[in-house]
């Protein structure tokens, strides 16, 4: 589906959606807990719905209400094929959990997730007692447990998500485990996992995120938790507030969550000269002058699309570091940003040697941009349209992955959209 986004003034208050990262971890904990747990204000993102279906397939009883989800745990697979959709986190989180079961199971993927490399995950699962087979190093993954525990090395350079899966599964293994971790990226998301584990009665010890000691034979406790607001999606709302607020736009449900790496967007905005003020329920951002800035997004790569869109309207170039983290996303985001933004008159330079993406601002011109089947590319294109010139976006349905109500929520604060 295509949509034309027109320049707009935005005002009032808008609420960030629930964090799909937090939600999926809570679903995994609910599956492994013996008893009834509650997840308040659940996310309805496609990735979360896929995770809920996988949890149900692995034995959980789930009831979804208007503003809460009830889950009764118990790992007892009801099917031998589990459909993970396009969720990279879901695949890496639920593969180790599925490997706890003593029966053969297959996790299948769709879209670009079918082409994301996951051989290190299969190797680590094999070292910990489970059989794991991929197709040319990518999903689907065929598993035959049980995952028994032991010692393994985890390379955290590509993603921290598989480490999260092991940290959630191994406490339920029969033996104790030790994980040696190198080159860990996105440490805040590992801290989010550790917070969920602590809240559900699971004990794990670590030495500066490099060595994790995990006692086996533990049990998850039932819980009643509320899903945090999503800083990854909220970053786009804050960017739009800085560019289109008239006189300001307040973004609610963005509390202080240091375990969400994308909270770092506030630092980038401050570097640009934006004015932010925390309120009782969120953050207020005023439209103002903006200057180019340098920002290291290595540990928060999902900030590349919103910050690149924001940089298009700053005075002077902006340099974002961590380019190598963009290759294995829903699209190759470095290349996608460069090719699509240049259609709208914004020049982007990719420097693999220095690991940087440089945005050179300029007048945004009317254009038709391809969302590349990537939710964050669609939202970045929407920023160009709302703050610059009319932009027709192809494939707006991709936002369902993380923020199904993105366009509807923006229309309620003044965004203007039209049919293609």
One domain for residues 26 and 153: yes
The residue-averaged pLDDT of 281-293 equals 91
Reply yes or no on whether the pLDDT at 412 is more than 80.
yes
Give the pTM: 0.95
Q: With 80 as the cut, is the pLDDT of residue 53 above it?
A: yes
Residue 388 and residue 302 share a domain:
yes
- Which pLDDT belongs to residue 186? 85
Residues 158 and 48 in one domain: yes
129 inside domain:
yes
pLDDT at residue 291 tops 90: yes
In a domain, 133, yes or no: yes
Residues 179 and 249 both lie in one domain: no
pLDDT at 185 (0 to 100): 85
Q: Domain of residue 135: give its range.
A: 20-212
Q: What are the residues whose beta carbons fall under 8 Å from the beta carbon of 202, sequence distance 6 or more?
A: 171, 218, 220
Residue 222 lies in a domain: no
Q: 245 and 197 in one domain?
A: no
Q: What is the mean pLDDT of residues 212-241?
A: 97
**Which residue, 212, 240, 269, sits at the end of a domain?**
212
The answer to whether residue 220 is domain-embedded is: no
Q: Are residues 184 and 232 in the same domain?
A: no
The reply to whether 79 and 156 lie within a common domain is yes
* β-bridge pairing 391-394 and 367-370: parallel
In this structure, are 390 and 295 located in the same domain? yes
Judgement on whether residues 185 and 254 belong to the same structural domain of the protein: no
Measured CA to CA in angstroms, residue 124 lies from 34, 75, 153 at distances of: 27, 21, 7
Q: Is 223 part of a structural domain of the chain?
A: no
The per-residue pLDDT for 158 is 75
- pLDDT more than 90, % of the chain: 92
Last residue of a domain, one of 164, 187, 212: 212
Sheet strand arrangement including 282-286: 10-15, 245-252, 282-286, 275-278
Give the pLDDT confidence of 255-277 residue by residue, as tens digits.
888 889 999 999 999 999 999 99
Arithmetic mean of pLDDT over the chain: 96
- The arithmetic mean of pLDDT across residues 83-103, rounded, is 96
Q: Residue 358: what pLDDT?
A: 98
**Does some domain include residue 317?**
yes
Domain boundary among 178, 212, 246: 212
Q: Is residue 159 domain-shared with residue 108, that is, in the same domain?
A: yes
111 and 151 part of one domain: yes
pLDDT at position 266:
96
pLDDT by residue (tens digit) across 15-30? 999 999 999 999 999 9
pLDDT in tens, 339-371: 999 999 999 999 999 999 999 999 999 999 999
Distance CA 49, CA 42 (A): 10
CATH of the domain at 233: 3.65.10.10
355 assigned to active site: no
User: Residues near 306 by Cβ (< 8 Å), separated by ≥ 6?
Assistant: 235, 236, 239, 265, 376, 379, 380, 383
In a domain? residue 219: no
Question: Of 148-162, 210-224, 255-269, 321-335, where does mean pLDDT reach its minimum?
Answer: 321-335
Judgement on whether residues 246 and 392 belong to the same structural domain of the protein: yes
Please give the sequence-ordered ranges of beta strands (E in DSSP) within 364-420, or none if there are none.
367-370, 391-394, 416-419
pLDDT value of residue 6: 98
Look at residue 330 and tell me whether its pLDDT is greater than 80: no
What pLDDT is attached to residue 226? Answer: 97
Residue 316 belongs to a domain: yes
Average pLDDT over residues 386-413: 97
> Of 262, 302, 370, 374, which is the active-site residue?
302
Number of structural domains in the chain: 2
Q: E strands of 230-383, at which residues?
A: 245-252, 275-278, 282-286, 294-296, 318-321, 347-351, 356-360, 367-370
> Residue 96 gets which letter from DSSP?
H
Report whether 193 contacts 24 (CB < 8 A): no
């Amino acid at each position: 589906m295509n949509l034309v986004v027109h320049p707009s003034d935005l005002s009032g208050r808008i609420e960030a959606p629930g964090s799909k990262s937090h939600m999926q971890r809570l679903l995994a904990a609910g599956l492994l807990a013996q008893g009834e747990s509650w997840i308040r204000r659940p996310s309805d993102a496609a990735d979360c719905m896929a995770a809920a279906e996988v949890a149900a397939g692995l034995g959980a009883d789930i009831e979804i209400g208007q503003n809460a989800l009830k889950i009764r745990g118990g790992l007892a697979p009801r099917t031998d094929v589990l459909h993970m959709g396009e969720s990279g986190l879901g695949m890496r989180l639920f593969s180790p959990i599925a490997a706890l079961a003593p029966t053969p199971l297959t996790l299948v993927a769709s879209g670009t997730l079918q082409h994301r490399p996951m051989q290190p995950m299969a190797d680590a699962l094999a070292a910990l007692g489970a059989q794991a087979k991929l197709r040319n190093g990518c999903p689907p993954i065929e598993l035959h447990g049980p995952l028994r525990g032991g010692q393994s090395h985890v390379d955290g350079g590509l993603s921290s998500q598989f480490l999260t899966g092991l940290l959630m599964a191994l406490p339920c293994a029969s033996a104790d485990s030790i994980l040696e971790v190198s080159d860990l990226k996105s440490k805040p998301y590992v801290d989010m996992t550790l917070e969920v584990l602590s809240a559900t009665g699971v004990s794990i010890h670590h030495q500066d995120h490099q060595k994790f000691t995990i006692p086996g034979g533990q049990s998850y406790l039932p819980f009643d938790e509320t899903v945090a607001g999503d800083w990854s999606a909220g970053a786009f709302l804050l960017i739009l507030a800085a560019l289109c607020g008239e006189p300001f736009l307040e973004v609610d449900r963005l509390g202080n969550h240091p375990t969400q790496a994308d909270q770092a967007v506030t630092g980038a905005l401050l570097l640009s000269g934006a004015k932010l003020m925390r309120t009782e329920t969120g953050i207020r951002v005023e439209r103002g002058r903006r200057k180019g800035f340098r920002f290291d997004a290595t540990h928060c790569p999902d900030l590349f699309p919103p910050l690149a869109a924001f940089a298009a309207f700053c005075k002077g170039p902006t340099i974002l570091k961590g380019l190598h983290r963009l290759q294995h996303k829903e699209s190759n985001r470095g290349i996608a940003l460069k090719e699509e933004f240049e259609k709208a008159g914004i020049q982007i330079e990719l420097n693999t040697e220095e690991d940087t993406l440089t945005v050179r601002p300029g007048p945004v011109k009317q254009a038709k941009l391809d969302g590349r089947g990537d939710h964050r590319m669609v939202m970045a294109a929407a920023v160009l349209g709302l703050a610059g010139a009319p932009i027709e976006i192809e494939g707006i349905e991709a936002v369902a992955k993380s923020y199904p109500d993105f366009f509807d929520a923006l229309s309620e604060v003044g965004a203007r959209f039209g049919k293609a």
